Structure 1
Amino acid sequence: MGDDFKQMKEQVQAGEAEKLKELIKKALASKVAPMEIIEKALRPAMEEVGQKFETLEIFLPEMIMAADAMAAGVEILRPLLAAAGGEKKVGRVVLGTVSGDVHRIGKDIVRIMLEGAGFDVTDAGHDVPDDTFLAKVKELKPDILGLSALMTTTMQNIPRVIEALKAEGLRGKVKVIVGGAPVLSDWAKQIGSDGYGENAVQAVSVSKKLVG
């Protein structure tokens, strides 16, 4: 199966979702375990994509294509993993774009990268009211709450969510990571977040450290 896993990795990195799905279906028909496909093909492929993005060997369009291909492959495997008792997760994350902000592409890439790294991710969506974040934290008890903002006018809603967590006695129960185009590392520290991701790769790295 080594060659098959190699081909899957190549199709993820090339953003070839349909070809990847065919390879996965072929492997499943040959009784390859869904978890083995993730661990030996999909996850390593996205790790390499992340490394190449960090070193500027590839750029955002290629990363999005790879992330979309990865997501297509995971969709085939997810029900099989659930039926088999599920994949062992690194940690649980609730992710969303704050109130007033309808941007979603960056958040969606972070979600796919986190899932590829083994996190159980609940996507709260975009333009998420503060109360919804609080409700998700209470209900799901995540290890991490990820808050995204893509505009300077909406990034001010990030510290508002953090303050709301404090008011509800939840701040000590969840780590908060923040990101988005206008968000900077120093500002993230000033507002009391636990971590900052300049991009999806860093968001995964920070999340791993927080649950490690």
Structure 2
Amino acid sequence: MKNEFVEALANLQENEAITIAQKMLESGTMAEEVLELAQQGVDIIGKRYENGEYFLPDLIMAGEILKEIASLVKPRLSKGATARRLGKVLIGTVEGDVHDIGKNIVSFMLEVNGFEVLDLGVDVPPAKFVEAIKEFQPQVVALSGLLTVAFDAMKDTVNAIKEAGLRDKVKIMIGGGQCNENVRQYAGADAYGKDAVEAVALAKKWIGGE
């Protein structure tokens, strides 16, 4: 059943993947294990996208399936899993950009790997990031953006965090289709994560989980 679940997710078979996830949970499979299996499926989806087998609509579909699976799994996560949280990550798509598939996959992968994640959604103004940092007190802030217009918004957000006197309290990563090292330097972020796996690795490195 576990292999079937990974395959169904990787093949974007929504109903089948969700049905198998439900059956696994009902038959006693730990919620954490279902998340680990989902991560395997996401890894395959990512590789197929990189190889040109999948396209943006496929990633959007994957994001929707993951949301459904996450809603099944989250209520069943053990208290121990919450207690083992490595740290807090604040994430959002910056102002002027409404793309969320990449952000959703990063959020999901961070949660799978033991982080407490606060997702502010899309088109998030700098002031909202600043307010959330004060309230949520994350160690890491992840700024997402697919469009080139997001670059200025990322820079504005980093500057707003600086002006609020919070810059030395958080590590900032950026990510998204058009992002690269030059954009990182322009925005004033600490690192650029090219995909969800790298985002998780950065968060672990910064928070000391690895």
TM-score, normalization by structure 2 = 0.81
- The equivalent of 1:49 in structure 2 is 45
Q: Does 1:13 align with 2:10?
A: yes
Matching residue of 1:134: 130
Specify the code of the residue in structure 2 equivalent to 1:155.
Answer: F
d(CA) in 2 for partners of 1:23, 1:100:
38
Secondary structure of the corresponding residue to residue 126 of structure 1 = coil
- The alpha-carbon deviation at position 77 of structure 1 amounts to 1.1
Task: Give the number of equivalent residue pairs.
Answer: 207
- Out of 125, 140, 162, the position equivalent to 1:144 is 140
User: Equivalent of 2:25, from 21, 24, 28?
Assistant: 28
Q: Which amino acid aligns with 1:128?
A: V
User: 1-side partners of 2:147 and 2:33: how far apart?
Assistant: 40
1:53–1:210 CA distance, 2 compared to 1 (3 A): farther
Unaligned runs of 5+ in 2: none
Amino acid across the alignment from 1:104: D
| Partner SS for 1:128 | coil
CA distance in 2: counterparts of 1:79 and 1:85, whole angstroms: 13
TM-score (norm 1): 0.81
Shift of 1:18: 1.4
Is structure 2 residue 119 aligned with structure 1 residue 123?
Answer: yes
Distance 2:156 2:188 in 1: 11
Shift in Å at residue 144 of structure 1? Answer: 1.6
Give the conservation status (yes or no) of the 8 Å contact 2:63–2:105.
yes
* Superposition map of 1:80-95 within 5 A: 80-81=76-77, 84=79, 86-87=81-82, 88-95=84-91
Q: CA RMSD in A?
A: 2.7
Three-state SS of the structure 1 residue aligned to 2:138 is coil
CA contact (8 A) 1:103 1:150 kept: yes
Contact 2:151 2:187 in 1 (8 A): no
Find 1:188's aligned residue among 177, 184, 187.
184
Secondary structure of the residue aligned to 2:188 is coil
Relative distance call for 1:157 and 1:168 in structure 2 (3 A) is same
Q: Distance in 2 between matches of 1:166 and 1:27?
A: 46
User: Offset of 1:117 from its aligned partner?
Assistant: 4.3
Secondary structure in structure 1 of the residue aligned to 2:89:
strand
Whichever residue aligns with residue 197 of structure 1, its letter is: G
Counterpart Cα distance in 2 of 1:112 and 1:191: 25
- Identity among equivalent positions (%) equals 34
Distance in 2 (CA, whole Å) between partners of 1:191 and 1:121 is: 22
